[in-house]
């Protein structure tokens, strides 16, 4: 399954984008079969696979344990991957999305015995209590970025509908997982106080954000992306729901690429096909519009095919051992990139969470690629205390120094869902989540 470093290098160009550094020149690539055969197949993990997943999960969970304020549970948006266990003091930026993923990661850490149970329960209690009683909110929605010590919004931060949804998914996962009355009470209060109709702002779809002083942003979640969890949480609310008919109000455009046809916007990075699936179990279910799990399988297949062809089939930067991009850092900063179609300054960088977040959709191909990354570059700065760095480009001698909370989060949740279905099974034991999918029209596939 694993291939040698030389073979991995032979499939992509060594010409970095301007400003990347590194050496120029091209290696003669080995042209992949076109279009690639990407069957989903049955995932039967080997001992090597299990060992890799153990390392990926334990080290990702360690991020959410160490890079969080122990008193209030807020998780840093990003942190250096080489601090030896110390919390990164170069930033104060916490993210409610990272904290939401972190709550689910604590469920995984508890189930696998990564940290003492009593300490995990205390951390979850502190996190929920602080967010309920001390964090600024607007109608139950939270500011996206906050001071990790005080919880006060950082300058310019928006009240975010989608990031609040990610936080609440983690809240509900923790409520369902831990048999603890305090956690259950705090989590229920956090969910039930959200005034979902307020974020509609009189429209047919959710506003993306609200800003103090200027009010609601014009942009809306009106086209298929990671938005499914937002609408389902709102439909299932026992206190301030929106009508189930709102489920039909966002557009579902079709994208066709190399024989794959699936619902996707032309500008969506791969994570948009992953995030809602980390929590809501869409397997073997369809609504009036689609089987969304199969839709994400097709999106992942198309993305791998796109990478193997980029910038051309005859001169590909990527290969079966090295592919996958989604919103991440790169040598020029942070960017939302992906494809198909090509979006952003694609330069040959690989983003490990692109494949890790799709482990449940295309397990054999994603596992093989991730294991090859670890085998070929695990001794380099690409892998550290918390696993893979956010992104790297070995041909350009560039390795991001940081990991991102949301990228570690989607990686560990999907790895555990692949292995045991823990987050799916836990999250879907919340009656509000089951009701929401029923009200939205989901039925089991026959």
**Whole-angstrom distance, CA of residue 306 vs CA of residue 386:** 29
Look at residue 22 and tell me if it is in a domain.
Answer: no
- For residue range 146-193, list pLDDT tens digits in order: 999 999 999 999 999 999 999 999 999 999 999 999 999 999 999 999
Going from the C-alpha of 383 to that of each of 143, 271, 349, 357, the distances in angstroms are 31, 21, 15, 17
Q: Is 263 helix (H, G, I), strand (E, B) or coil?
A: strand
Look at residue 17 and tell me if it is in a domain.
Answer: no
> Which one, of 61, 158, 67, lies nearest residue 114 by Cα?
61
Residues in the chain: 446
Find the mean pLDDT for residues 200-216.
Answer: 98
Dihedrals φ, ψ of 351, to 5°?
A: -120, 100
**Whole-angstrom distance, CA of residue 54 vs CA of residue 206:** 38
Domain with residue 259: its CATH number is 1.50.10.140
State the residue for tokens 């916490």: 94
Q: Predicted confidence band at 21 (pLDDT cuts at 50, 70, 90)?
A: very low
Q: Which two tokens stand for residue 287?
A: 């609504």
- For residue range 32-69, list pLDDT tens digits in order: 456 666 667 789 999 999 999 999 999 999 999 999 99
Q: What is the pLDDT of residue 312?
A: 85
Q: Which domain holds residue 143?
A: 5-12+27-444
- For residue range 226-235, list pLDDT tens digits in order: 999 999 999 9
Region of residue 222 (phi > 0: left; psi between -120 and 50: alpha; otherwise: beta): alpha
**Number of structural domains the chain divides into:** 1
Look at residue 323 and tell me if it is in a domain.
Answer: yes
Going from the C-alpha of 197 to that of each of 187, 218, 237, 401, the distances in angstroms are 20, 16, 11, 41
Pick the more confident residue, 346 or 26: 346
**Whole-angstrom distance, CA of residue 15 vs CA of residue 348:** 8
Look at residue 221 and tell me if it is in a domain.
Answer: yes
- For residue range 276-317, list pLDDT tens digits in order: 999 999 999 999 999 999 999 999 999 999 999 998 877 789
Look at residue 130 and tell me if it is in a domain.
Answer: yes
Look at residue 94 and tell me if it is in a domain.
Answer: yes
Q: Spell out the residues 6+ positions from residue 119 whose beta carbon is closer than 8 angstroms to its own.
A: none
């Amino acid at each position: 399954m694993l291939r040698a470093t030389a073979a991995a290098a032979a499939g992509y160009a060594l010409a970095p984008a301007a400003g990347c550094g590194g050496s120029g020149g091209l290696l003669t690539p080995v042209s992949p079969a076109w279009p690639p055969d990407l069957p989903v197949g049955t995932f039967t993990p080997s001992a090597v696979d299990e060992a890799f997943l153990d390392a990926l999960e334990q080290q990702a969970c360690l991020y959410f344990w160490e890079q969080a304020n122990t008193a209030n549970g807020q998780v840093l948006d990003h942190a250096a991957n080489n601090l030896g266990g110390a919390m990164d003091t170069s930033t104060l930026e916490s993210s409610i999305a990272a904290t939401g993923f972190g709550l689910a990661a604590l469920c995984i850490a508890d189930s696998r015995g990564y940290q003492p149970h009593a300490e995990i329960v205390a951390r979850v209690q502190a996190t929920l209590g602080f967010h309920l009683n001390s964090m600024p909110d607007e109608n139950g929605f939270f500011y996206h970025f906050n001071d990790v010590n005080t919880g006060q919004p950082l300058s310019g931060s928006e009240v975010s509908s989608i990031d609040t949804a990610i936080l609440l998914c983690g809240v509900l996962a923790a409520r369902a997982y831990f048999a603890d009355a305090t956690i259950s009470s705090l989590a229920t209060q956090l969910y039930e106080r959200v005034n979902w109709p307020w974020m509609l702002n009189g429209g047919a779809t959710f506003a993306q954000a609200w800003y103090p002083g200027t009010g609601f942003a014009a942009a809306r979640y009106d086209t298929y992306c990671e938005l499914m969890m937002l609408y389902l949480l709102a439909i299932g609310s026992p206190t301030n729901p929106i009508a189930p008919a709102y489920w039909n109000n966002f557009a579902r455009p079709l994208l066709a690429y190399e024989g794959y046809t699936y619902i996707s916007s032309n500008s969506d990075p791969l994570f948009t096909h992953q995030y809602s699936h980390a929590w809501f179990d869409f397997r073997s279910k369809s609504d009036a519009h689609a089987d969304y799990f199969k839709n994400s399988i097709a999106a992942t297949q198309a993305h791998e095919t796109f990478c193997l062809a980029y910038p051309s089939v005859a001169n590909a930067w990527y290969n079966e051992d090295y592919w996958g991009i989604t919103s991440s850092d790169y040598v020029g900063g942070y960017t939302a990139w992906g494809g198909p179609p090509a979006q952003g300054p694609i330069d040959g960088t690989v983003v490990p969470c692109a494949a890790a977040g799709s482990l449940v959709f295309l397990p054999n191909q994603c596992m093989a690629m991730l294991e090859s990354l670890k085998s070929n570059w695990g001794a380099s700065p690409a892998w550290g205390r918390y696993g893979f760095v956010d992104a790297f480009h070995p041909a350009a001698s560039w390795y991001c120094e940081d990991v991102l909370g949301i990228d570690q989060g989607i990686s560990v949740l999907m790895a555990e869902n692949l292995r045991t279905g823990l987050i799916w099974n836990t999250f879907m034991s919340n009656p509000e989540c089951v009701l929401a999918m029923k009200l939205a029209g989901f039925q089991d596939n026959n």
